[in-house]
Structure 1
Amino acid sequence: MSDDIRPFRIEVPQDDVDDLRARLGNARWPDDTPGDGWNRGVPPDYLRDLAHRWQSTYDWRAHEARLNGYPQFTTTIDGQQIHFLHVRSPRPDAKPLLITHGYPSSVAEFLDLIDPLVEPAAGQAFHVIAPSLPGYAFSTPLSGPGWAMGRTAAAWVELMRRLGYQRYGVHGGDVGAGVSGLVGGLDGEHVIGVHVVTDPYTAAYVATFMPGMADRLDANDPVDKLILARMDAFRREGSGYLAIQSSRPQTIGYGLVDSPLLLLAWIAEKVREWTDLPVDEDQVLTNVSLYWFTRSGMTAAHTLYEQAHSSDWGAPPSVPQAFAVFGADETTRKLVPAPPGARWSEFPRGRHFPALEAPADLATDLKEFFGPLT
């Protein structure tokens, strides 16, 4: 294994940019279909508008330059290329913070979060390390099977060792929350704390996979009744994307790599369903573009397959923990497994992508949690 860390810049060939625009311009659109709004998936009018923006007015080069405004690197760990942003703060009291995105996301999710962490107007400052998950964006090609959260967490521990950080915090949401918790369990000697974000809808979805959860809930209790309704809605109407990628990632992957319309619809649907605050459409398109230019729609799906077939959940972290719940409601404390003594924060708005929806709130919570930790 090489400890070599290599500087990296995003430089998408112009031929790839032109090819994307041509494919969008020559897209085969379906005939009008039955349905009302989002009940059967992404409405044609919505996708036409977003695809037109991606083809004609969205400026990839401007967003590529914004990403390249942050120092980026690659290294090889356990046979896998790992891409990461490493943005150091000028503040002498800055603490290293490893932040991990989830699905269907990328490091582009953190573009409005990094600066308030690196050079905050007040409060704790951080050196931010933001890797691309294996199989996502420039952490490709995927080296082989087995890249579930446990193996990723071990790679993150090695990454922080290579960077020379003896004490560091970890943060994540979605898949990144799982990885962050596993890092805390693997490397408690060096991790000062684990901070994760979630929302009650995501928590209800996770609950559908917990054996016996439905049996432990009382259908006559108003809060339990709401949880059961959300679990049922996820099983009936919201789990299709996960079922496909957890069972047939190769098959859906051909379309995600070859069709920009499918990739755009696949990701935009989740952003729309899993947010309740406005998000910048160009930032969404930057995220989709990273999947497109790196052909990582298929490889990201393969990692979801790996996790669905993995039994490696590691040891729970023994370090301080914090839970930030966005869109918190009466179901939150029953669904989110916060251990005794963990920091608990509730935010009334925002949901699955708080770094996109409410970066200021998230930055404040991170500063308040990690500030006293050493």
Structure 2
Amino acid sequence: MTVAPFVVDIPQSDIDDLHRRIDMARWPERETVDDWSQGVPLAALQDFVGYWRNDYDWYACQKLLNDWGMFETEIDGVAIRFLHVRSPHAEARALILTHGWPGSILEFRRCIAPLTNPEEHGGTAADAFHVVIPCLPGYGFSGKPAVKGWSVEKIAQSWGELMRRLGYSRWFAQGGDWGSAVTTAIAVQQIEGCAGIHLNMPIARPLPEDMAGPAPDEAQALMKMQRYQDWDSGYSKEQSTRPQTVGYGLVDSPVGLAGWIYEKMWAWTDNEGRAEDALRRDDMIDNIMLYWLTSSGASSARLYWESFGSFGPKDIPLPVGASAFPKEIIPAPRKWFERHCPNLVHWGEPEKGGHFAAWEQPEAFVKELRVAFGFMK
């Protein structure tokens, strides 16, 4: 039950090994189209990986993580490593933020200061939070479960235990992607201490009558859902059925890992044609490094095997705030979502942003949290 400091300390030999593997990479031939319809274009990935090899500095990211302050504790045999940044306001509320795949704790990098020091970022002392940002089990610096059973429900229970160990008797939870599933599971199970949640990927499904006569926003959601199933969900089918198989390549090849993740940085962000329109290149590589340095290609994919079947609508008894960013990959109109939320206190529709809401639009994301949790005091 001990909570102790955790220092990120990657040896230079790991960086040298990464560079050697990139230098030895075998590249496929060029795609036969002039767009991304067959995946990441060869020229785009070679440019991205070339920057990673020659211009990127991991140790700037390592310093950032250590300056924020990382900690560790063991829960049911798995080491959970997490950021814990306390607000200077003693009366600040506690908030646990959960990332998804292929993201990491770094998704929230530009939200930490506005959440903990709101008066310096357009807010008031009443908007202050102590933030806890854990690496999911099998992701980043957290340990890798050695036995099956680490579902979103179990992770939700573990987050409750983590918050208890940190001394928070009343707290709030937020998440998108797998973070949305974990955060929903916290509310559904009514984990002790949780007073309300916010989701930036609200999950809901249409009823037959919705599909028979959809409103414009419902018709658009149905179209996006179908496109996702037809053209964008192959990664999830592989990871939910054969995570070990796909893991060999992701752990062994930095180019393979970069292609697997960079494509989603392009496909799932609100951009003008390039992933770099929405996310800084160094930030994207920082994120990929949390998968590469920890060899977590298989262990992160395994969460799909554990819980993909339970990634669906749930009735949520706690106060809920939700934000529907316009380029979310699986949209849920308010009409569908509020059926599951008798206590929906906030529904926001920011003007810009995609699947990685906190990462792409930190100011809008923080504003949404302030409004939503403002109704839960």
- TM-score normalized by the length of structure 1: 0.90
Structure 2 CA distance for partners of 1:323 and 1:36, relative to 1, 3 Å: same
Indicate the residue corresponding to 2:237 in structure 1: 243
Indicate the residue corresponding to 1:325 in structure 2: 324
Structure 1 stretches lacking a partner, 5+ long: none
Match of 1:228, SS state, is: helix
Match of 1:7, SS state, is: strand
Q: CA deviation at 1:341?
A: 4.2
**Contact 1:118-1:125 within 8 A present in 2 as well:** yes
Amino acid corresponding to residue 295 of structure 2 in structure 1: R
Indicate the residue corresponding to 2:42 in structure 1: 44
Percent identity between the aligned chains? 39
Match of 1:283, SS state, is: helix
Q: Are positions 1:358 and 2:361 aligned together? A: yes
Indicate the residue corresponding to 1:339 in structure 2: 341
Match of 1:129, SS state, is: strand
Indicate the residue corresponding to 1:182 in structure 2: 185
Q: Tell me how far apart the structure 2 counterparts of residues 222 and 172 of structure 1 sit (CA, whole Å).
A: 27
Q: Tell me how far apart the structure 2 counterparts of residues 136 and 91 of structure 1 sit (CA, whole Å).
A: 31
Amino acid corresponding to residue 288 of structure 1 in structure 2: I
Structure 2 CA distance for partners of 1:221 and 1:315, relative to 1, 3 Å: closer
Structure 2 CA distance for partners of 1:248 and 1:19, relative to 1, 3 Å: same
Q: Tell me how far apart the structure 2 counterparts of residues 103 and 32 of structure 1 sit (CA, whole Å).
A: 27
**Contact 1:186-1:315 within 8 A present in 2 as well:** no
Amino acid corresponding to residue 16 of structure 2 in structure 1: D
Amino acid corresponding to residue 227 of structure 1 in structure 2: A
**Contact 2:187-2:197 within 8 A present in 1 as well:** yes
Q: CA deviation at 1:221?
A: 6.0
Q: How does 1:140-219 map to 2 (within 5 A)?
A: 140-187=143-190, 189-198=192-201, 207=205, 216-218=210-212
Q: CA deviation at 1:295?
A: 0.5
- TM-score normalized by the length of structure 2: 0.90
Amino acid corresponding to residue 347 of structure 1 in structure 2: P
Q: Tell me how far apart the structure 2 counterparts of residues 314 and 83 of structure 1 sit (CA, whole Å).
A: 29
**Contact 1:182-1:314 within 8 A present in 2 as well:** no
**Contact 1:328-1:346 within 8 A present in 2 as well:** no
Cα distance per residue 1:180-232 (max 9 Å; x no partner): 12112334552121011028xxx6xx74xxxx857851378655443333232
Indicate the residue corresponding to 1:88 in structure 2: 86
Q: Tell me how far apart the structure 2 counterparts of residues 125 and 6 of structure 1 sit (CA, whole Å).
A: 24
Indicate the residue corresponding to 1:231 in structure 2: 225
Q: CA deviation at 1:5?
A: 1.2
Amino acid corresponding to residue 360 of structure 2 in structure 1: E
Structure 2 CA distance for partners of 1:245 and 1:62, relative to 1, 3 Å: same
Indicate the residue corresponding to 1:262 in structure 2: 256
Q: Tell me how far apart the structure 2 counterparts of residues 341 and 367 of structure 1 sit (CA, whole Å).
A: 17
Q: Tell me how far apart the structure 2 counterparts of residues 138 and 328 of structure 1 sit (CA, whole Å).
A: 29
Structure 2 stretches lacking a partner, 5+ long: 272-277
Instruction: Count residues with an aligned counterpart.
Output: 362
Q: CA deviation at 1:368?
A: 2.3
Amino acid corresponding to residue 299 of structure 1 in structure 2: S
**Contact 1:328-1:347 within 8 A present in 2 as well:** no
Q: Tell me how far apart the structure 1 counterparts of residues 140 and 104 of structure 2 sit (CA, whole Å).
A: 7
Q: Tell me how far apart the structure 2 counterparts of residues 224 and 111 of structure 1 sit (CA, whole Å).
A: 33
Q: CA deviation at 1:315?
A: 7.3
Indicate the residue corresponding to 1:367 in structure 2: 370
Q: Tell me how far apart the structure 2 counterparts of residues 51 and 214 of structure 1 sit (CA, whole Å).
A: 46
Indicate the residue corresponding to 1:108 in structure 2: 106
Cα distance per residue 1:324-367 (max 9 Å; x no partner): 11117997224434624411111121010111111011112212
Q: Tell me how far apart the structure 1 counterparts of residues 43 and 180 of structure 2 sit (CA, whole Å).
A: 34
Q: CA deviation at 1:39?
A: 0.5
Q: Tell me how far apart the structure 2 counterparts of residues 369 and 335 of structure 1 sit (CA, whole Å).
A: 19
Indicate the residue corresponding to 1:78 in structure 2: 76
Indicate the residue corresponding to 2:274 in structure 1: none
Match of 1:179, SS state, is: helix
**Contact 2:269-2:327 within 8 A present in 1 as well:** no
**Contact 1:140-1:294 within 8 A present in 2 as well:** no
Amino acid corresponding to residue 225 of structure 2 in structure 1: M
Match of 2:68, SS state, is: coil
RMSD between aligned residues: 2.3
